[in-house]
Amino acid sequence: MMKVCINPEMVIVNGKVLSHQEKGSALLTKLYRTYIGDYPKFFKMDTLSKLGFVASELLLQAENAERFVPREDRAVVFFNRSASLQADTTYQATIQDPDNFFPSPAAFVYTLPNIVTGEIAIRNKYFGETSFIVLPERDPSIMAQQLQNAFQDPMTQSILGGWLDCTDENHFEAELTLIFKS
Partner 1 sequence: MDELIYTLKQQIIETLNLEDMTPEDIDENASLFGEGLGLDSIDALELIVLMEKNYGIKLQDPNQGKEIFKSVAVIADYIAKNRTK
Q: What string of H, E and C letters represents the secondary structure of 121-154?
A: HHHHCECCCEEEEECCCCCHHHHHHHHHHHCCCC
Residue 165: partners with Cβ closer than 8 Å, 6 or more residues away: 80, 81, 82, 138, 172, 173, 174
Residues interacting with partner 1, by CB under 8 A?
A: 40, 43-44, 102-106, 109
CB of 102 to partner 1, least distance (A): 5
CB of 155 to partner 1, least distance (A): 30
CB of 167 to partner 1, least distance (A): 21
Residue with smaller CB distance to partner 1, 103 or 180 = 103
CB of 42 to partner 1, least distance (A): 8
Find how far residue 111's CA is from the centre of its chain. Answer: 14
Q: Are 14 and 2 in contact (CB under 8 A)?
A: yes
Residue with smaller CB distance to partner 1, 50 or 74 = 50
Residue with smaller CB distance to partner 1, 87 or 143 = 87
Residue with smaller CB distance to partner 1, 40 or 140 = 40
Interhelix angle 47-63/115-124, rounded to 10 degrees, is 40
Stretch (H or E) spanning 80: strand 74-80
CB of 45 to partner 1, least distance (A): 9
Residue with smaller CB distance to partner 1, 96 or 152 = 96
Q: Are 104 and 94 in contact (CB under 8 A)?
A: yes
